[in-house]
Amino acid sequence: MPRALLILPTAGYRTEDFLAAAAALDVEVVVATDRRQTIGDALRIDLRRPDRAAEAIVELARDLPLDAVVAADDGGVVAAALAATMLGLPSNPPDAAGRARDKLALRRALEAAGVPQPRFAELRPGGAVTAVGFPAVLKPTGLAMGRGVIRADDADSARASERRIRKIVAAAGDDPVAPLLLEQYVPGAEVAVEGLLRAGRMETLAVFDKPDPLEGPYFEETIYVTPSRLPEAAQAAVEDLVASAAAAVGLREGPVHAEVRIDGGRMWTIELAARSIGGLCGRTLRFGLGVRLEEVILRHALGLPLDGRMRREEAAAGVMMLPTPHAGTLREVAGQDEARAVPGVSDIRITIPAGGRLVPLPEGDRYLGFMFARGATPDEVETALREAHARLRVAIDPV
């Protein structure tokens, strides 16, 4: 029986889905986590020190030989690459995983390779906030899920945004005086690309439309729908751009998730990550023979056959990351039965328990929940998600 080590960070959503995929493949699982309350006999590691985390995984592998090391989310990608390399397993080069994890390093790698992206600059404390012009977007280099990402339209708002972001970085336990990324705001529609790298060659798993505008000042994502409604030529150009970006960073193996902005004939790489789509959004995707996304990832990492399992189903599918209306304590989410009754809606998962704290962007890093729909066309799916969301009634008590 093959054995895989899964790195499951505290803040992740993917534990259930990866464990289910492993069970479907009859794969023995060892879990490594930074959770305060561990999962069974999980290995406790410090993901803020990827080198030490990797050493702990290698030490474990002396008694429990591993066939793959897989990171479920951003937080574990560097440790996974280091450990896999030390064990002689297929993986991304650790320095490439590090570049994908650091937004400023990513921008520099894309610039060196001539990959289209927004203008950018490093912003140190007290540095010039006017370096890329306005509007601009300020980002912490190491946080994910839109946390700390703020649009600024002039120098005063940029300086205020910088102060706010540094407080967010400090609250996350990172260095508040570390450089931030300052980049040009680019207009247009945004799409997401899900891909899988095999020996440096990217195979596209799905292209998602994001029909809600992402114009700021914060960038809370809501609806993803696939297949994309872009013309075939535009989709092909997007896929080529993402493949070029992955090659520029040096990624070679495993999942890739990217964000691309499109405005007329222009395209820009906004994000590139060496992991699969976040949250529970992977449940949107189904491939040949009923295979789910996490199974595709594990099959690739373990060297199991993928032929016939890479083609996405023909039906349209989508997910809505339920937005957080405002800060407070969640009392209840009413209307779920009414929302589930909307034709096409397949599931609703509320991921904040009653009594849990709601923190919207840019400070927050948790979704209220996820809603899924399937249909004959992307338009049908989008309509179902919007109608079902309108039936939910979120009751929030003020803090």
pLDDT at 9: 79
pLDDT at 36: 61
Could you list the mean pLDDT of each consecutive 10-residue stretch along the chain, which spans 399 residues? 90 87 96 73 91 97 97 94 97 98 98 98 96 98 94 98 98 96 98 97 97 96 97 97 98 98 96 95 91 96 87 94 95 98 98 95 94 98 98 95
pLDDT at 360: 95
Q: What is the DSSP letter of 146?
A: T
Which CATH architecture describes the domain 315-399?
Alpha-Beta Complex (3.90)
pLDDT at 397: 96
Q: Is there a contact between 384 and 343 (Cβ–Cβ < 8 Å)?
A: yes
Q: Quote the CA–CA distance of 126 and 132 in Å, as a whole number.
A: 16
Which CATH architecture describes the domain 3-99?
3-Layer(aba) Sandwich (3.40)
pLDDT at 329: 97
pLDDT at 39: 62
pLDDT at 307: 79
Q: What is the DSSP letter of 355?
A: T
Helices 103-113 and 94-101: crossing angle, nearest 10°?
Answer: 110
**pLDDT tens digits, 8-23:** 876 678 889 999 999 9
Tell me whether the CATH fold assigned to 3-99 matches the one assigned to 119-184: no
Q: Is there a contact between 324 and 364 (Cβ–Cβ < 8 Å)?
A: yes
User: Taking the domains of the chain in order of start, what are their residue ranges?
Assistant: 3-99, 119-184, 315-399
**pLDDT tens digits, 242-260:** 999 999 999 999 999 999 9
pTM of the model: 0.95
Q: Which residues contact 62 (CB under 8 A, 6 or more apart)?
A: none
pLDDT at 137: 98
Q: Which fold has domain 119-184?
A: Dna Ligase; domain 1 (3.30.1490)
pLDDT at 38: 55
